[in-house]
Structure 1
Amino acid sequence: METIVGKQSIQFREAPHIVSAASIVGKKEGEGPLGKLFDQIEEDPMVGQASWEEAESALQKKAAGLAMEKAGPGVPPVRYLFSGDLLGQLIATSFGVMDLKLPLFGLYGACSTIGEALMLAAMTVQGGYSDAVLALTSSHFGSAEKQFRYPLEYGGQRPLSATWTVTGSGAFVVARSGGRARISGATPGRVVDYGLKDSMNMGACMAPAACDTICSHLEDFGRKPSDYDYIITGDLGSVGHTILLELAGKRGFDLEERHLDCGMMIFDSETQDTHAGGSGCACSAVTLAAYILPKIESGQWRRVLFVPTGALLSTVSYNEGQSVPGIAHAVVIEHC
């Protein structure tokens, strides 16, 4: 059974396995440094649908189906689904997974959602409530811009601190056994708010939360950054990366040699005009599925702290002058 560790962490004594993963991305993501690693690249940003929102739902449906197909016949049937997205009332998820006919737990952790989904999936499997669970999330550049910023037709300029929302969906089947990577621990994040109000600089808004979760995790488990091959955040981008290193240093942890960020890996900022990097729920999810997980499964990396990050703003809170709180969820993924 899982064991409570320190102030807020969990250690899974019989660590559930990630038995399969699927990554589906858009054309721009396919042209980036990780392009050859993704399972499927959608050349059509509309994915054959009538709206950006429907396109994102289609991405979720495809990724979920592919992950369950890749799990193979030896894995028990998926019983529950943990999923979420960035859109109001999780419409990309609800319309995307409807045809799967699976009981759904809808999650909102902004861009940290896949961390929350994997954590809850592991708890559900470890607790004996299901033999197999699906963790899923998505984002889409068009739907995110339309909801949080300006419609694409507006043609607004983006500051250098801005990130580019990843179009894609990542899905993972978590089961009792059968994989070469396992979820051995987790540290749920707290909402951290430094009072920043710039929605075009989400890296700065999320970095304090990333620092809080990473440092709390290391303190709870009595570990050092060197106990991990890498500590990989979700989408801080280049701005948030710099802030995280500074904040963690003030708490006594040097992350300089161990920190990677999915938002900095998924695009080439010099040639793809993505400014500070990538963002969105899919950013960390597809990078985990296509790049991080294979390295763990092969044994090239033995232990990784995967820390998706999220900016907890909405159009309502932003228009009312509220700040942009952040959250980060940490998941320990080990080779087995």
Structure 2
Amino acid sequence: MGISMENGLSTNKSVGKQSVLFQNPPCVLGYSSIAGKKEGEGPLGSCFDIIEEDPLAGGKSWEDAESRLQKKAAELAIQKASLQPKDIRYLIAGDLLGQLIATSFGIVDLEIPMFGVYGACSTMGESISIAAMLIDGGFADKVIALTSSHFAGAEKQFRFPLDYGNQRPLAATWTVTGSGAVILGSPKEVKKLPEDTNPTIHITGITTGKVMDYGIKDSMNMGACMAPAAADVIFHNLSDFDRKPDYYDKIITGDLGYVGADILKDIMKEKGYDISKNHMDCGVEIFSKETQDTHSGGSGCGCSAITLTGYVFKKMIQREWKKVLFVPTGALLSTVSFNEGNSVPGIAHGVVIEIME
């Protein structure tokens, strides 16, 4: 489907079946990445703002630790944007824990109006999507998107406590300990110094995903659960905007891992698109397959969040990548539904990120 343009802007923000094209693309004002010790030892370790060596982050529990990571990430992003918490109109955040307790306890002191969201490991994509729509729609001038995950907290909630010492199958991924934050603002909020030559990163569009359920009941193979949802979002992004895969320098999925990434590329070939040349998966990149025992790679809300804010944005600021399709992926796993014999559905959300000089 083509995009009707008038004076360089779309005459209709809704494009195709699942996408939105922003008339005044929101820009990135600030961002931060807080990573755990294991993540800091991985290939992307030098990209993160802070490496938290203490798995408890100075707290008393795994859940408390994750809340502390979120607060630290939010405060750092606000500081890097030269703002104060009172300058932020809305905070959109979520995590993997029940009732979003990592978020609610983590951000309470910031006193920013909050929308709590849950998209499993796709939460960063969902948060940025909603933040961008609020800004382009004129409902806010500055919004922070925030999420986190913690290896021990996720294992405790979804699988087995660490003390149990269960064996992990080769298809399993390792939940990332980390938190990422992105502050979006309207273009008029960008204030550059004369000596600042860095480009501005904009959110130019989004493609919202659907819940996809292929009947997979293996809770330790989340890549297979999420791959169909990622394929659906990428397909509709390309068809809605009438683009080929090579429009993007990178098509970046969240945490499919090695198993899910292979499934995704096979599905996309069946749909008529070859993304093998420019596809990247955060779960594959964040850990070393040779030196870190994480089996199929990384996962969790923090996986795509800190890869985006630590690594992807760095590549874009350096102008190595100018157009990126960011597709965080989520397995909608519940211990309640799984123990009742249900399958594990998946979802993904696409965010178009571009450099605009």
Runs (4+) of structure 1 exceeding 4 A deviation are 73-76
CA separation of 1:73/1:104 partners in 2, compared to 1, >3 Å: closer, same or farther?
closer
Deviates more, 1:294-303 or 1:283-292: 294-303
Contact 2:238 2:245 (C-alpha < 8 Å) held by counterparts: yes
Structure-to-structure mapping, 1:246-265, within 5 angstroms? 246-265=266-285
Q: Quick one: structure 1 residues 156 and 106, their matched pair in 2 at CA, closer, same or farther if it must change by over 3 Å?
A: same
Q: CA deviation at 1:20?
A: 1.0
Q: Which residue of 2 aligns with 1:128?
A: 138
Corresponding position of 2:243: 223
> 1-side partners of 2:303 and 2:294: how far apart?
13
1:173 maps to 183
Residues 258-316 of structure 1 deviation map (CA, whole Å, 9 limit, x = unaligned)? 11000000000221100000000000000000100121122211100000000001110
Which of 309, 325, 331 is the equivalent residue of 1:289?
Answer: 309
State the number of aligned residues: 336
Query: TM-score, normalised to structure 2's length?
Result: 0.92
The amino acid of 1:142's aligned partner reads A
| Cα distance between partner residues in 2 of 1:237 and 1:57 | 26
Q: Is the 8 A contact 1:76 1:132 kept in 2?
A: no
Secondary structure of the residue aligned to 2:280 is strand
Checking the alignment, whether the CA contact within 8 Å between 1:304 and 1:333 is kept in structure 2 is yes
2:27 aligned with 1:17: yes
Coordinate RMSD, CA, aligned: 1.3
For 1:133 and 1:92, the matched residues in 2 are separated by 19
Query: Partners in 1 of 2:90 and 2:63 — Cα distance?
Result: 23
Q: Tell whether 2:355 aligns with 1:335.
A: yes
CA distance in 2, matches of 1:74, 1:131: 14
- Of residues 222-231 and 294-303 in structure 1, the stretch that sits farther from structure 2 once superposed is 294-303
Residue 329 of structure 2 corresponds to which residue in structure 1?
Answer: 309
Which residue is 1:267 aligned to? Answer: 287
Correspondence for 1:104 among 104, 110, 114: 114
Q: TM-score, normalised by structure 1?
A: 0.98
Amino acid at match of 1:264: V
Task: Give the % identical residues.
Answer: 62
Structure 2 unaligned blocks of 5 or more: 1-9, 191-198
Is structure 2 residue 150 aligned with structure 1 residue 164? no
The one-letter code sitting in structure 2 at the alignment partner of 1:305 is L
1:5-54 Cα distance to aligned partner (Å, 9 max, x none): 00110000110001111000110000000001100001000001110000
Where structure 1 has 5 or more consecutive residues not aligned to the other structure, the ranges are none
Aligned to 2:119, what secondary structure does the other structure show?
coil
Aligned partner of 2:13 in structure 1 is 3
Paired with 2:47 and 2:275, the residues of 1 have a C-alpha distance of: 27
Contact 2:304–2:328 (8 Å) recurs in 1: yes
Give the conservation status (yes or no) of the 8 Å contact 2:85–2:110: no
Amino acid aligned to 2:289: S
The answer to whether residue 94 in structure 2 is matched with residue 84 in structure 1 is yes
